[in-house]
């Protein structure tokens, strides 16, 4: 076993339905015109007209359906679509890694936008054709930062069992849609979207070496960002003071990550930050001391996809890889969310092997480009 676990491939996927912000806000205004107050409508116009987000993807055939679903219909859609997106992401990640389903001996799936029992992992065992004695784990409750705790668990499993580990983050944020004159809900409805990402971890020293991880929890600030239950349904709760809180937690986590390695901010070539939202990106960037260029990949993903919760940080990393990296480059992935928590990992670019490590001009087409026509789930 090599000293450092390696990410052999990344695959990011989104559902086919893409809405621009103008169409999305028009649908909401039409559906809720009788219940929204003058102030609510003003907030709605302001949040949806912000230039930081242009388009988002949703796991539904008809976007109007999101606003009329019963709780039972909502969890049914979450179940169907989370399994579909997770399967597509896993298939593509395995293909890019040149791995067969029979090689997978551990599977870790995280989500926060719906709860089913048995978990998503059990459906993936069947859909992907994994061994029935695969070690499978479902993680919940980590919110937007969940991809990195998932990666930590996956790395531990790789060290313990070797072989091939698949780590999947999948969120159907639209399955937690709620609407009234609450600013938290209006902000959420302008920001969140659906998507999934999968990565394959191996012991072979090709791809991205996972050098170190770090995390911080600030439980006394949990009310600033969380889901709460009202009438048995999830409602997003966001504080207007959140940017400053996330800034402090994120900056501390980066320090915890880099200091033991004898590294500083200037030693990091690439930064993959969770999108969060425009104010969050600015606050975290200022807290760490990052330039506009270093935040460009994060802002590009926010503009194209919004905030897909936990998978989003993988989309940002893939965006960086598409623009080009070199062996030896160091990259920090940083995500934050419910808890209040912040999580980071230090990656180092290693040698690349064909087939391509990830998608790009010469790689397989993925759902990240909004086209699933050439991708078929494994039996």
pLDDT on residue 358? 55
pLDDT on residue 230? 85
Report the 10 Å Cβ neighbour count for 64: 11
Q: Helix, strand, or coil here: 218?
A: coil
Distance separating alpha carbons of residues 61 and 149, to the nearest angstrom: 32
Percent of the chain with pLDDT over 70: 92
Classified by CATH at the fold level, domain 6-202 comes out as Peroxisomal Thiolase; Chain A, domain 1 (3.40.47)
Phi then psi dihedrals of residue 213, to 5 deg = -135, 160
> What is the rounded average pLDDT of the residues 298-311?
98
CB-count exposure of residue 205 (10 Å: 0-12, 13-18, 19+): middle
Q: Is the pLDDT of residue 370 over 70?
A: no
SS (H, E, C) 281-341: HHHHHHHHCCCCCCCHHHHHHHHHHCECCCCHHHHHHHHHHHHCCCCCCEEEEEEEECCCE
H or E element in which residue 138 lies: strand 135-140
Distance separating alpha carbons of residues 332 and 325, to the nearest angstrom: 13
Closest CA to 162 of 363, 359, 6, 267: 6
Query: With contact defined as beta carbons under 8 Å apart, do 119 and 228 qualify?
Result: no
Give the Å distances, CA to CA, from 133 to 104, 107, 129, 152, 156: 10, 11, 12, 21, 18
Phi then psi dihedrals of residue 261, to 5 deg = -90, 0
pLDDT on residue 352? 65
Q: Is the pLDDT of residue 334 over 50?
A: yes
**What's the pTM?**
0.92
CB-count exposure of residue 292 (10 Å: 0-12, 13-18, 19+): exposed
**Cβ contacts of residue 276 below 8 Å, gap of 6+?**
144, 246, 284, 307, 336
pLDDT on residue 104? 97
Q: Is the pLDDT of residue 142 over 80?
A: yes
Give the Å distances, CA to CA, from 263 to 248, 258, 330, 332: 19, 5, 10, 11
SS (H, E, C) 8-42: EEEEEECCCEEEEHHHHHHHHHHHHCCCCCHHHHH
Give the helix ranges, DSSP H, for the chain.
21-32, 38-48, 71-97, 120-128, 147-161, 183-191, 242-258, 278-288, 296-305, 312-323
> What is the rounded average pLDDT of the residues 97-109?
96
Query: With contact defined as beta carbons under 8 Å apart, do 209 and 183 qualify?
Result: no
Distance separating alpha carbons of residues 79 and 102, to the nearest angstrom: 25
Q: Is the pLDDT of residue 371 over 80?
A: no
Distance separating alpha carbons of residues 241 and 234, to the nearest angstrom: 21
**Cβ contacts of residue 119 below 8 Å, gap of 6+?**
109, 136, 138
Query: With contact defined as beta carbons under 8 Å apart, do 175 and 77 qualify?
Result: yes
pLDDT on residue 161? 94
Residue ranges covered by each domain of the chain: 6-202, 208-351
More confident position, 276 or 364: 276
> What is the rounded average pLDDT of the residues 336-340?
93
Q: Is the pLDDT of residue 223 over 70?
A: yes
Give the Å distances, CA to CA, from 147 to 36, 210, 309, 342: 35, 14, 9, 11
Domains 6-202 and 208-351 share a fold: yes
> What is the rounded average pLDDT of the residues 143-168?
96
Classified by CATH at the fold level, domain 208-351 comes out as Peroxisomal Thiolase; Chain A, domain 1 (3.40.47)
pLDDT on residue 114? 95
Q: Helix, strand, or coil here: 182?
A: coil
Phi then psi dihedrals of residue 3, to 5 deg = -65, -35
């Amino acid at each position: 076993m090599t000293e450092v676990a390696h990410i052999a491939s990344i695959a990011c996927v989104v559902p086919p339905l893409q809405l621009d912000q103008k169409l999305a806000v028009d649908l909401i205004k039409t559906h809720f015109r009788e219940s929204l107050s003058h102030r609510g409508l003003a907030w709605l116009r302001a949040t949806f007209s912000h230039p930081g987000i242009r388009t988002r993807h949703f796991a539904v055939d008809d976007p109007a359906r999101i606003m009329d679903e019963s709780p039972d219909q909502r969890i049914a859609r979450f179940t169907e679509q989370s399994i579909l997106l997770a399967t597509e992401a896993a298939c593509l990640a395995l293909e890019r890694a040149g791995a067969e389903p029979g090689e997978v001996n551990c599977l870790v799936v995280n989500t926060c936008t719906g709860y089913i029992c048995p978990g998503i992992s059990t459906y993936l065992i069947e859909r992907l054709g994994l061994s029935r004695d695969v070690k499978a784990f479902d993680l919940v409750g980590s919110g937007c930062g969940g991809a990195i705790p998932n990666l930590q668990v996956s790395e531990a499993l790789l060290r313990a069992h070797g072989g091939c580990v698949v780590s999947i983050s999948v969120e159907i944020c639209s399955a937690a849609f709620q609407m009234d004159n609450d600013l938290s809900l209006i902000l959420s409805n302008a920001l969140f979207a659906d998507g999934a990402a999968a990565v394959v971890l191996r012991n072979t020293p090709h791809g991205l070496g996972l050098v170190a991880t770090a995390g911080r929890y600030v439980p006394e600030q949990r009310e600033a960002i969380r889901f709460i239950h009202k009438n048995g349904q999830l409602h997003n709760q966001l504080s207007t003071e959140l940017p400053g809180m996330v800034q402090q937690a994120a900056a501390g986590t980066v320090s915890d990550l880099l200091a033991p390695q004898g590294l500083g901010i200037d030693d990091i070539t690439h930064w993959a930050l969770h999108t969060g939202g425009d104010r969050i990106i600015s606050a975290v960037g200022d807290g760490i001391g990052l330039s506009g260029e270093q935040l460009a990949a994060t802002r590009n993903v926010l503009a194209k996809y919004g905030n897909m919760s936990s998978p989003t940080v993988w989309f940002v990393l893939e965006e960086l890889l598409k623009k080009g990296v070199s062996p030896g480059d160091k990259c920090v992935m940083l995500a934050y969310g419910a808890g209040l928590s912040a999580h980071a990992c230090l990656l180092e670019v290693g040698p690349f092997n064909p087939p391509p490590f990830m998608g790009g001009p010469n790689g397989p087409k993925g759902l990240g480009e909004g086209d699933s026509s050439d991708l078929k789930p494994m039996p």
